Every structure is written in structure tokens, then in C-alpha cells.
Amino acid sequence: MPNARGLAGFNPRHLLSIADLNRLDIEMLLELGETYLDLSVQKDSKNSVLAGKTLINLFFENSTRTEKSFELAGRRLGADVINMAIAQSSVAKGETLLDTAATLNAMNPDLLVIRHGASGAPALLAQKVSCAVINAGDGMHEHPTQALLDALCLRQAVQEDGGQLDGLRIAICGDILHSRVARSNVQLLNILGCEVRLIGPPTLLPADADRWGVDVFHDMKTGLEGCDAIMMLRLQLERMGGTFIPSKREYFHFYGLDRAKLAYAKPDALVMHPGPMNRGVEISSDIADDPDISLITKQVEAGVAMRMAILHALSLRGDRA
């Protein structure tokens, strides 16, 4: 079982944004995540770090990977895990987020994971409950645990070739405007010393992207030049209130990742996608399913390990309080 020594000095109470973490916190989480990733290949990967603790998963938006990986992470650490099915809860009867928070708080959970369509909902909840709150995606704002698992996954892949994250050139491509994954990843990769590029059509790039500490490109050819890794994003149609692209076919033609566009990047460039993927819209199946190029399945694997590390680290703070 990993011990807590490696977390000495880890002080964040919640994980609402990457801004809650400094470089040292991030390095500690990545180290612990790596330990859990190594342990996950062992037959009995369960332990009791969170024995006697309660984790509540509160997902107001759909999720496959994130919700299931938090559930699995909690169970593997021995926690009691409750998944709130929002559609069958009092929320469906009109209860407000704050009333739900007060109700859940009265049950004395130790960790609360929330995904919500409104930016800032996890931060609001964190003010109302006495346990650690983890943002599992809030509107278009942030998705810090996704950024951390992406960093863990990429770090593992480059370390296998004797490399490191610091100094890598990474492109984040596609629907940046609606992406909480992009917002968290830009911050995290910048802290870790990567050179970050954003590539997308002007309609799908935030107006203030040039102030994010990135280089902005509108075409894949120049944007992907010299890139070590490419993070593709889903076209988030559910967040689009109007027409942002002429058609999915045209979008794929200009921004979908296929072999021809991948050739603009470094020869051994790695491809990532947080999922769910829209095949043939932002990425071709040919690339997504090529294990020599695509880290997509490994990202899911890293997701469980990283979330184990996050739950472990935040639960210690509760123990100290």
C-alpha cells in the first residue's frame, strides 16, 4: 500500500481547479498516480487507504469514464461509495443544489465528487459542505482530474522512451471554446513546463485565448509542426447554442486528425482524446485505434490510478484537520 510520506506538504483542501495546485502538489499527485498505476497490474489491487470513509459521487451531467473511474478508485481504496442517480433523486423534485448539499453534508461524507453543467457549481458546494470537494467537470470551466490523468498518461509514455514532460510541445485541437478539458490542461501543462499550442477554427477558440500562455493556430499544418503530442477534443454540440461549423464533413476535412495531418507533427507524436470520441468528426478510427500512436485506452487506465491518488491525497487533509 503506498504510504503517505510522499504527500508531506500536500495541503489543498479541495480540487476545484488546477489553480488549487502548485507544481510540487502536481508532482506529488503524479508520483502517487504512478504508484497506483503500477499496483493496478497486480491481481489484488485493492487496499484500505480509505477504509471507513465515504465518497459520494454527484453527477448532474452524463458520464461514463469519469463517474465509473471515481467509483472504482474509491472502491479500490476501500471507501464506501455512493453514486447519486440525479434523475431518481430529490433534485428531480426541484431541490436546489444548496439544499442537496446540506442534505448530503448531514450524512458526513469525507469526499464529494461533483459534475455539474454550471461553471462554479463545485466551488459553491465547497463553501457549504465540510468535506473535500472534487470537481469532475463544471460547465465549460474546468476538469482538473482529466488534466491530471492526461499528464500521468503522457508522462508514462514519454518516460518509456527516456523523455520527460518538461519542454514537450503539445497541441490541443478542436472545440477549445466549449472545453473544460482544454482549460484545465492548458494551466497544468504550462505549470509543468510544456509549450502549449491551441489549434481550431476562430469560431471555436475563446476570444481571450491569446492570454492563456499558449500559441494559437487556425490551421493544422502550421499548428502541428514539431508537436510531440496532440490532444484532440470532441465537438461539444450540446454546448453550442448556434452554428459554429459549416458541417461535420467540412470540420473533419480541416481539423479532423487523420494520417495526412498527423504527418505534420513529429514522426513519433502521440495522440490523446479524453473521450467520448466522435469518430470521423474530430479523429479517424485509423488513428484512434492504432496502439503505437494512440494513448486513448491508456488514458482510461490512468484515470482510475490518478483518481485513486487524488482521493488518497485529499483524504489525508481531512485526517489532519
Nearer to ligand NCD, 17 or 146 (CB): 146
Nearer to ligand NCD, 191 or 231 (CB): 231
Nearer to ligand NCD, 4 or 86 (CB): 86
Residue choice 13, 65, 75, 248 for contact with ligand NCD (CB under 6 A) = 65
C-alpha dist (Å) from residue 15 to 22, 163, 270, 302, 313: 12, 28, 28, 18, 10
Distance of closest approach, residue 137 Cβ to ligand NCD, in angstroms = 5
Q: Is 181 in the site for ligand NCD (CB under 6 A)?
A: yes
Q: Is 180 in the site for ligand NCD (CB under 6 A)?
A: yes
Residue choice 32, 274, 281, 283 for contact with ligand NCD (CB under 6 A) = 274
Whether residue 201 is preceded by a cis peptide bond, meaning omega within 30 degrees of 0, is no
Question: Residue with CB nearest ligand NCD?
Answer: 234
Write down the residue that cell numbers 498505476 correspond to.
37
Distance of closest approach, residue 175 Cβ to ligand NCD, in angstroms = 8
Q: Using CB under 6 A, count the residues that bind ligand NCD.
A: 11
Cα–Cα dist 53/73, whole Å: 13
Q: Is 234 in the site for ligand NCD (CB under 6 A)?
A: yes
Among 257, 261, 234, 266, CA closest to 167 = 266
Cα–Cα dist 76/90, whole Å: 29
Helix (H) or strand (E) holding 112: strand 111-116
Q: Is 66 in the site for ligand NCD (CB under 6 A)?
A: yes
Q: Is 275 in the site for ligand NCD (CB under 6 A)?
A: yes
Helix (H) or strand (E) holding 318: helix 296-320
Identity (one letter) of the amino acid at 107?
M
> By rule CB under 6 A, what string of x and - marks binding of each residue 10-39 to ligand NCD?
------------------------------
> Which three three-digit cell numbers place residue 47?
487496499
Nearer to ligand NCD, 14 or 180 (CB): 180
Residue choice 35, 57, 135, 146 for contact with ligand NCD (CB under 6 A) = 146
Cα–Cα dist 190/246, whole Å: 32
Among 287, 222, 225, CA closest to 252 = 287
Cα–Cα dist 209/183, whole Å: 10
Nearer to ligand NCD, 264 or 282 (CB): 282
Q: Which letter, b or e, does each residue of 128-153 get, where b requires 16 or more Cβ atoms within 10 Å of its Cβ?
A: ebebbbbbbbbbbbbbbbbbbbbbbb
Q: Is 298 in the site for ligand NCD (CB under 6 A)?
A: no
Distance of closest approach, residue 106 Cβ to ligand NCD, in angstroms = 29
Nearer to ligand NCD, 4 or 277 (CB): 277
Q: Is 143 in the site for ligand NCD (CB under 6 A)?
A: yes
Q: Which residues bind ligand NCD (CB under 6 A)?
A: 65-66, 137, 143, 146, 180-181, 234, 236, 274-275
